[in-house]
A and B are shown apart, each in its own frame.
Chain A
Amino acid sequence: MIDKELEKLKDYKYGFTTEIENIKAPKGLNKEVIKFISNIKKEPEWMLQWRLKAFERLKHLKEPDWQKPKFSKINYQDIYYYSAPKSASEKLKSLDELDPKLLETYNKLGIPLQEQKRLNGIAVDAIFDSVSVATTFKDKLTEKGVIFCSMSEAIKKHPELVKKYLGSVIPVNDHYFATLNSAVFTDGSFVYIPENIRCPMELSTYFRINASETGQFERTLIIADKGSYVSYLEGCTAPMRDENQLHAANVELIALDNAEIKYSTVQNWYPGDKNGKGGIYNFVTKRGLCKGKNSKISWTQVETGSAITWKYPSCILQGDNSIGEFYSIAITNNYQKADTGTKMIHIGKNTKSKIISKGISAGYADNTYRGLVNIFPKAKNARNFTQCDSLLIGNKCGAHTVPYIKNRNSESKIEHEATTSKINEDQLYYCQQRGLNTEDAISLIVNGFCKEVLQQLPMEFAVEAQKLVGISLEGSVG
């Protein structure tokens, strides 16, 4: 039995479970549960009302169904909306007070929380199921006036900022999953970079789903004030389970005049087993608002996990001369499915956007790029460049490209390039003749294919991501 477990973990080494005592909300979605969440987090009344408003709205919404990957009906009454380690229910004064089991979990995940062991220059917020369990390097950030804390803490300590910006990019009633999140969100990260401050280190959040039958609904809000810069990275893993688990996060970014936000994601949720059983439904809403002049938001995502990945990190280019970028690698193997891309909404003058998408399919997987470039009448001189490349491994997988282009300004310029290719036998043969085994050869070819996107990742993570690309495709060629 133990051998079998180990054997399984070889494929997905983050698939272990931590035995820990949890505090859970009663199963199901209703007003009482929302009150429970708000209460246990000691939220102010306005926050509860905000949640309840979303919940009211949710009653009138239906799940969208236009996406390519279909999924079995989710029973929203059969999910725990709040689960947190008991030991994390009281606010910790320092990391030393953190439950050793949690510390061990993060060590196993390669995220040692003790600061002295951390890579220099990266601050981490660790989210375990529904709560933030630790945030590192706080003091150093406070010196610069940077606020990096859990969402729950921000609601209490910085209500003026939260009230002003929460829901300003993803409205409470946006669409089903976003609205669900607004009603039941549990924790997430909050970042505020003051005027003219360049955040002195990479910020990162590590999301971990542990408890079973639990949904994770985190909420992240990043505000870059005038002339500031921040680079933020999120990573995700979950144990292996036979049932599908829902992850419906909302991420909002706001960049004011001359500010820049670089947001990178390495998503490695449990993808399900070889036969497509289990895995995370990753239905995430990510949207950035380039509110000020000359602002810039850049999304980079490496999506290798999840049974279904369904997300479109987008940029609303409202400020004149603002820039939006989207760099994406989506890898699907076995029975994984992805429907991902971006929306670039050009509102201001001289706005620019760039989309580089690399989709890789292997096994029986299905991978769709779906993207919108929308140029408003006043967006003079707007420019977009889109490049979508798909790579197929084997002959049972699929790749699709669905670009939508709306142009209402005659002075704009839009370019779209798309390619689909297969790793051919001859390329593999060539690499093998030079001594590489099949898996290393595929990893090399795929990494080459993804190079433009991998280059966008912060250095420390680029190497990890490269390895992950190789691991995700193991066993993809018989």
Chain B
Amino acid sequence: MLEIKNLKASIENKEILKGLNLNIKAGEVHAIMGPNASGKSTLSNILSGKKGYEISGEVRFENNNLLKLGIEERAHKGIFLAFQYPLEIPGVNTNNFLKTSLNAIKKARGEKELDAIEFLKLVKKKSSDLKIEEKILNRHLNVGFSGGEKKKNEILQMSILNPKLSILDETDSGLDIDALRIVSEGVNTLRGSKNSFLIITHYQRLLNYIKPDYVHVLKNGKIIKTGNFELALELENKGYENFL
């Protein structure tokens, strides 16, 4: 589904990714762990299409040259990024934003858009599945949300948009156990034969709830080791410094 070959990226002449290779097949869950400044967030930015990077190498997503596509086109193809710091948009009702987003994607795919009632049904179901209080849906998007509420809102959006590839950029940082559980359930519910995940994290903690198929260690812009869940435990015990 996603194939990354020799990806290099720099920003303001500083090279951050230095030849990264990664393959994700449909249905797989991959975790990327690494110390600060190893290039984790850069990777998620580049996959989602954020501007400002000098890029070389190849990224293919379901036979598309991903690097040629605009941000929203990638979203239409089924790439979702759960932001590390979700943005606040004053005056825009969360429900309305979600509906606009879902229908923009459906429209781009030539599918039928949902009307207000169909959408409400969907959002009711998804939020109760994830035990997310409906009242946050009536507030302005992320405005005055706690850190946990913002992350839960990201997961709710993910479950409504049902993306093929979800990238979680340090979604677990700053979450308490309950919120962590909600995030994990969101992923586990979507997890299936088709939906793939790329989970970027500092800590092994989240991986106790979402058992990844593969764990990669990113350091200095390259994947230096790949293994299974055991690798995450080993990292947690030894620390990045000793491990590398």
- Which A residues are closer than 8 A to B by beta carbons? 425-427, 429-438, 440, 444-445, 447-452
Contacts and interface: CB of A to CB of B under 8 A. Distances in A.
B128 to A, nearest CB: 22
A440 B91 contact: no
A167 to B, nearest CB: 40
A440 B92 CA distance: 13
A436 B104 contact: yes
Nearest to A427: B87
Contact of B91 (A425, A437, A450): A450
Most central of B74, B89, B140, B157 by chain A CB within 10 Å: B89
A430 B100 contact: no
A436 B87 CA distance: 15
B72 interface: yes
Given A435-B105, A435-B108, A445 B92 contact: yes
A436 B89 contact: no
A448 B104 contact: no
A430 B75 contact: no
Contact of A429 (B50, B90, B92, B140): B50
Contact of A448 (B81, B86, B140): B140
Given A427-B89, A449-B91, A434 B97 contact: yes
A430 B91 CA distance: 16
Contacts of A427: 87, 89
A72 B108 CA distance: 47
Which range holds the interface residue count of chain B?
A: 20 to 34
Contacts of B201: none
Given A448-B91, A448-B92, A435 B72 contact: yes
Contacts of A452: 91
A434 B91 contact: no
B108 A444 contact: no
A449 B72 contact: no
Contacts of B100: 436, 440, 444
B71 interface: yes
B72 A436 contact: yes
Closest 9 CB pairs of A and B: A448-B91, A448-B92, A434-B101, A451-B91, A432-B71, A435-B105, A435-B104, A435-B75, A430-B87
| Best-surrounded residue of A433, A436, A438, A447 (most CB of chain B within 10 A) | A433
Contacts of B87: 426-427, 429-430
Contacts of A448: 89-92, 140-141
B89 A433 contact: no
B151 interface: no
A433 B48 contact: yes
A437 B100 CA distance: 11
B113 to A, nearest CB: 12
A113 B109 CA distance: 40
A452 B91 CA distance: 8
11 contacts: A432-B70, A433-B72, A433-B81, A435-B105, A435-B108, A436-B101, A437-B72, A440-B104, A444-B92, A448-B141, A449-B91
Given A429-B50, A429-B71, A434 B89 contact: no
Interface in B132-162: 140-141, 157, 161
A427 B83 CA distance: 11
Contacts of A429: 50-51, 71, 87
B76 interface: yes
A206 to B, nearest CB: 29
Contacts of A440: 100, 104
A425 B52 CA distance: 11
Contacts of A425: 51
A435 B162 CA distance: 13
Nearest to B79: A433
A392 to B, nearest CB: 15
Contact of B89 (A432, A438, A444): A444
Given A444-B100, A448-B140, A433 B91 contact: no
A446 to B, nearest CB: 9
Residue from A426, A440, A444 whose CB has the most chain B CB atoms within 10 Å? A444
A435 B157 CA distance: 12
A434 B87 CA distance: 12
Nearest to B103: A435
Contacts of B161: 434-435
B48 A447 contact: no
Nearest to A425: B51
Contact of A432 (B75, B83, B141): B75
Contacts of A451: 91-92
Interface in B70-121: 70-72, 74-76, 80-81, 83, 86-87, 89-92, 97, 100-102, 104-105, 108
A447 B91 CA distance: 7
A444 B92 CA distance: 7
